[in-house]
Amino acid sequence: MANPNTKKTIFTGAATAIVTPFSNDKIDYDAFGKLIEEQIKGGIDAIVVAGTTGESATLTDAEHKEIIEYAVNKVAHRIPVIAGTGSNETAYSVELSRFAANAGADALLHVTPYYNKASEKGLIKHFLTVAEATDKPIILYNVPSRTGTNISMNAYRELSKHDKIVAVKEASGDFNKIAEIAAECGDSLDIYSGNDNQIVPVLSLGGKGVISVLSNIMPKETHDICRLYFDGKVKESAALQLKLLDLINLLFVEVNPIPIKTAMEMLGYFSSEMRLPLCEMEDGNKEKLRAVLKKHGLLK
Q: Is 7 a catalytic residue?
A: no
Of 47, 126, 58, 40, the C-alpha closest to 89 is 126
**Residue 176 CB coordination number (10 Å):** 9
* Calpha distance 82→235 (Å, rounded): 30
* Calpha distance 215→86 (Å, rounded): 22
Indicate which residue of 169, 177, 208, 286 is catalytic: 169
Q: Residue 298 contacts by C-beta under 8 Å, 6 or more apart in sequence? A: 217, 218, 267
The answer to whether the beta carbons of residues 240 and 203 sit under 8 Å apart is no
The answer to whether the beta carbons of residues 244 and 218 sit under 8 Å apart is yes
* Calpha distance 23→146 (Å, rounded): 26
Q: Give the largest CA-CA distance in the chain.
A: 55
* Calpha distance 219→163 (Å, rounded): 31
Q: Residue 297 contacts by C-beta under 8 Å, 6 or more apart in sequence? A: none
Q: Is 141 a catalytic residue?
A: yes
Q: Are strands 190-193 and 209-212 parallel, antiparallel or unpaired?
A: parallel
Indicate which residue of 7, 65, 136, 141 is catalytic: 141
Start-to-end CA span in the chain (Å): 55
Active site residues: 141, 169
